[in-house]
Amino acid sequence: MELEAIYKRVIGLDVHQAQVTACALIEQSDGTTRAEQRQFGAFKRDRRALAQWAAALSPDEVVMESTGIYWKSPYAALEAVGIHAKVVNARHVKNVPGRKTDVADAQWLAMLARAGLLRASFVPPARFRELRLVARQRQNLVGQLAAEKNRLHKVLTDSGVRLGVVVSNLHGQSARAMVRAIIAGQPPHEVLKYASRRLRASREDIFDALQGDLSASHLFVLNELLAHIEEIEARIARFDARLLEGLATEREALALLQTIPGVDQIGAAMLLVEIGTDMDVFGSADRLASWAGVCPGNNESAGKRKSGHMRRGNRYVRRLLCEFAHAASRTQCVFKSKFQALVIRRGYKRSIIAIGHKILRTIFFMLKRGEHYRDSATDYEALSVQRNAPRWIKALTKFGFIEPTRV
């Protein structure tokens, strides 16, 4: 039994680092099918030749595997000539082992595409793909920053300075000033002057925590670590500015996402460049969650439910959703109550993933409908009035808008 042809002109591309193998299946006027196979290199001139060859055939479908990052430059070359190729999951088009060659893989892709059996993966517009580079590098820098901060804490502890015991954040404004003073070689009673009065620890405890045995090597390493930390922080600030500048036209979507508990401006921007603003490409919230890899997998055979491990999905989106879930679980909202109900029986990590899943589904409907977040458990307007009413009344009375109450 042969596969029924839905498309008459298709091209399958087997993409590798150094070459691209192409197979075109063209249905002739007499009903026969002509196969044309070509091989192209991976350089710019080769990608341009590939795009020109594909455009000359006027294909109905062009498909390629999502092989690492190698598919991106051929995809952009095809996009430049008006061809929007389908990037498909390699697991969905796996050929029979023992019969695999580059030519056979390209032909197999073309056959499946001709029968309409392939579903394209989500590929954002070119503008968002470029901003993805900025957002993902920013995430890498944040990881480097956290690692360097931990190293600085470790070196301080190694020298006997227990500053981390008396401050909640070793890199807050007050603690950073004290670390700089320590590196400058100031004695503990001078370093103590930089301690904020808002610190909960007593002055005696802070003074005792500053006592240590810092050698010349300790001071050298601390100085280099602090310089590197400040350099990374400045670099992250530049990445933030570049990311927000690139999303200047998406202010409405950014504002919508920031109404969700736990989502700040940078988090909203980094999520937008990953999932885009057009939710019609996913079709449903279930498909979006499956693509991101934050929902259980389906694995059933002979009526038996097997392991439901999550798929890998988009690790950048999953990381952002976990950050949002951590923050939302500490605010007054429906996500907090859901987290508290789950964590008892499912554990902390699974509960965080479940809250991230719920947040992503909420984001889908918000972007699709263009509506801001409305919490089903908390009236934020009433909460704001409750917190600020005394201050508002005092100000209105001061400027004569209402009469002062008399007892």
Q: Could you tell me if residue 387 is inside a domain?
A: no
Q: Could you tell me if residue 391 is inside a domain?
A: no
* Helices and strands, number each (H, E), in the chain: 16, 7
- With 90 as the cut, is the pLDDT of residue 365 above it? yes
Q: Are residues 241 and 254 in the same domain?
A: no
What predicted TM-score, i.e. pTM, was given to this entire model? 0.84
pLDDT in tens, 190-226: 999 998 888 888 999 999 999 989 999 999 999 999 9
Token digits of residue 336: 């907090």
Domain boundary residue among 71, 94, 121? Answer: 121
Q: Within its chain, how far is the Cα of 44 from the centroid?
A: 30
Q: Report the distance separating Cα 7 and Cα 10, nearest Å.
A: 7
Q: Are residues 19 and 111 in the same domain?
A: yes
Report the C-alpha dihedral over residues 147, 149, 152, 156, rounded to 10 degrees: -120
Q: Could you tell me if residue 238 is inside a domain?
A: yes
SS3 63: strand
Domain boundary residue among 121, 149, 181? Answer: 121
Query: E strands, 267-400, where?
Result: 300-301, 304-305
Return the pLDDT at 37. 92
Whether the Cβ atoms of residue 22 and residue 5 lie closer than 8 Å to each other: no
Whether the Cβ atoms of residue 93 and residue 118 lie closer than 8 Å to each other: yes
Q: Could you tell me if residue 385 is inside a domain?
A: no
Q: Could you tell me if residue 215 is inside a domain?
A: yes
Q: What angle do CA 135, 139, 145 make, to 5 degrees?
A: 140
- With 50 as the cut, is the pLDDT of residue 86 above it? yes
Beta pairing, strands 9-15 & 61-65 = parallel
Measured distance between the N- and C-terminal CA atoms of the chain, rounded to whole angstroms: 94
Q: Amino acid identity, residue 156?
A: L
Q: Report the distance separating Cα 275 and Cα 282, nearest Å.
A: 9
Domain boundary residue among 121, 147, 174? Answer: 121
Q: Are residues 256 and 158 in the same domain?
A: no
Q: Report the distance separating Cα 239 and Cα 140, nearest Å.
A: 11
Nearest Cα to 155, choosing from 211, 215, 224, 221? 221
Residue 154: CATH number of its domain: 1.10.287
Determine what percent of the chain is predicted with pLDDT higher than 90.
61
Half-sphere exposure of 155 (CA within 13 A, CB side): 21
If one counts the domains in the chain, the total is 3
pLDDT in tens, 231-280: 999 999 999 999 999 999 999 999 999 999 999 999 999 999 999 999 99
Q: Amino acid identity, residue 114?
A: R
Q: Are residues 146 and 93 in the same domain?
A: no
- φ/ψ of 44, rounded to 5, equals -60, -45
Q: Are residues 204 and 294 in the same domain?
A: no
Q: Are residues 59 and 24 in the same domain?
A: yes
Q: Could you tell me if residue 382 is inside a domain?
A: no
Q: Are residues 27 and 95 in the same domain?
A: yes
Q: Are residues 110 and 190 in the same domain?
A: no
Residue corresponding to tokens 């929902």: 295
- The number of residues making up the chain comes to 407
Determine what percent of the chain is predicted with pLDDT higher than 70.
97
What range does the domain containing 30 cover?
9-121
pLDDT mean across residues, the chain: 89
Token digits of residue 244: 């927000």
Q: Report the distance separating Cα 70 and Cα 182, nearest Å.
A: 49
Q: Are residues 134 and 237 in the same domain?
A: yes
Q: Could you tell me if residue 403 is inside a domain?
A: no
Q: Could you tell me if residue 407 is inside a domain?
A: no
Q: Are residues 197 and 277 in the same domain?
A: no
Q: Are residues 221 and 180 in the same domain?
A: yes
Q: Report the distance separating Cα 275 and Cα 269, nearest Å.
A: 10
Least confident of 53-62, 334-343, 359-368, 386-395: 386-395
pLDDT in tens, 92-149: 777 666 667 888 888 888 888 888 888 888 898 899 999 999 999 999 999 999 999 9
Q: Are residues 139 and 102 in the same domain?
A: no
Residue 37: CATH number of its domain: 3.30.420.10
